[in-house]
Amino acid sequence: MTKRSLPSTQVLITEVCSELNNFLLDKNEKYGDSPIDPVRILSKADPVEQIKVRIDDKLSRLAHGQDGDEDVIKDLTGYLILLEVAKRKKEQMNGEPDPL
């Protein structure tokens, strides 16, 4: 199926996912694997919990109107994808699913 024959919603889903893919890969290249493999200087929480905290912080700033110039939707979506990546890596290491 070519892109032209896809319904417009499917085309947009493909575009958004592609943009998010590039966004996350660019951030990963720029900042390294810090969400998935944190340095743990102060916090000893595992990556899954740390990403959940980042999501909570982002939602709190949004709820209080402190989102500034950030693209909150893109950031939240990125964190949710990273949460899934962290959960899968944890499952691979432990051999069992991680409950949300």
pLDDT per position as a tens digit, 45-100? 999 999 999 999 999 988 888 877 778 889 999 999 999 999 999 999 888 766 66
User: What does the pLDDT read at residue 16?
Assistant: 95
User: What does the pLDDT read at residue 67?
Assistant: 75
Residue 20 tokens, joined: 């998010």
Classify burial at 65, counting beta carbons within 10 Å of its beta carbon; exposed 0-12, middle 13-18, buried 19 or more: exposed
Beta-carbon-side half-sphere exposure of residue 31 (alpha carbons within 13 Å): 13
Inter-residue contact 51 to 35 (CB < 8 Å): yes
